[in-house]
Amino acid sequence: MPKENLMKDDSPITMKDIARELNISVSTVSRALKDSPRISIERRRMIQQYAQEHHFMPNMLAESLRLTRVQPMKIIGVIIPEFVHYYFSTVLCGIEEEASARGYRVMVAQSGEHYEREVQLCRSFFENKVCGVIVSQAKDTHKYDHFQHLMDKGVPLVFYDRICTGINTSRVVVDDYTGAYNAVSYLIETGCRRIVYYGSQMNMEIAKNRFNGYKDALLKHGLPFREELTRICDNRHDAEMITPDLFEGDVYPDAFFAVNDDTALGILYTVKRMGLRVPEDLSICGFSNGVRAVSCDPMLTTVEQQGFRVGEEAADVLIGMVEGKIPIEKNEKRIVRTRLIIRGTTR
């Protein structure tokens, strides 16, 4: 009879795990999974059923290496939320540059901002025996078992940008709080008093930090925090939809601070369509400093995140862990400084 299953979650297991749980040899498990006639039909079915129920996935990379006798390559798994986002593409460039210079290659995948896809990617990276994983979590990630599983199996893990506070691991972030605080302070110092904040859902640490930077800048300069001037809005489409409504109430905005450049550009497009002048009637500030920040009229004031530097630092931390220069149990934390780039959308 199989032992009681002690696996903590539905993460993929190895043949060794199956052998231990069923109190049989690894060779018996291997033969049964290959449907070998040397194992009785009854035992084969029992082992195969157990493997299926516990999400066993064959190690295709290891099998390939066994057959070809090729040495495994040093490959880093990288998960980005969206390929089309300028910031994430610059982070990826930084990761690839640093990894290539140190003899590593990268295997890149996109979560598409979906938790389920992110879980699948972590399983796939583990299956293919990457030497470590660099990841920025999806917006709707709410459980962290897939990340914890990688760590439990000894796979080095480094977060960038959107960090996971549910587990302790290494991370590389920008100073989101200071970046937001400085940007909103500048808006206030240039005469703005009714500053609207467009941000992301508060389940992400960067959303909390940027919101707190906005709020503290108001209070520091003697302005009240007003709930009616905040919105959950972090993309251009939503910004174009909701911005006109803010000008129909009693509080008439004279500035906007957006959590990213795409949202800021949605605001800019909308208010210009409404006949408002930027920056004479209101100021707009974004966060990223992507290429589109200088391809609009007027050009966008924004907080520069230095994505390339973030990618370099993330790769440096991970490779340090892989090569034993940074203990895998140490939680390395690095912060990349932001800076405010002042252009034509502010006074």
pLDDT along the chain (347 residues), means of 10: 44 79 86 82 88 74 47 81 89 96 96 94 93 94 91 93 87 97 98 97 92 98 96 96 93 95 97 97 96 96 96 97 89 96 97
- pLDDT per position as a tens digit, 24-54: 988 788 888 887 877 888 888 898 888 888 8
Confidence (pTM): 0.76
Q: Which two tokens stand for residue 146?
A: 């897939």
| Cross-strand bridge partners of residue 160 | 172
CA distance 158 to 137: 11
The pLDDT value recorded for residue 4 is: 42
The pLDDT tens digits for 140-154 are 888 899 999 999 888
- Give Cβ neighbours of residue 115 (< 8 Å, ≥ 6 apart): 138, 140, 141, 142, 143
Residues near 234 by Cβ (< 8 Å), separated by ≥ 6? 198, 199, 200, 259, 260, 263
Closest CA to 301 of 258, 267, 342, 260: 342
- Inter-axis angle of helices 307-322 and 86-101, nearest 10: 40
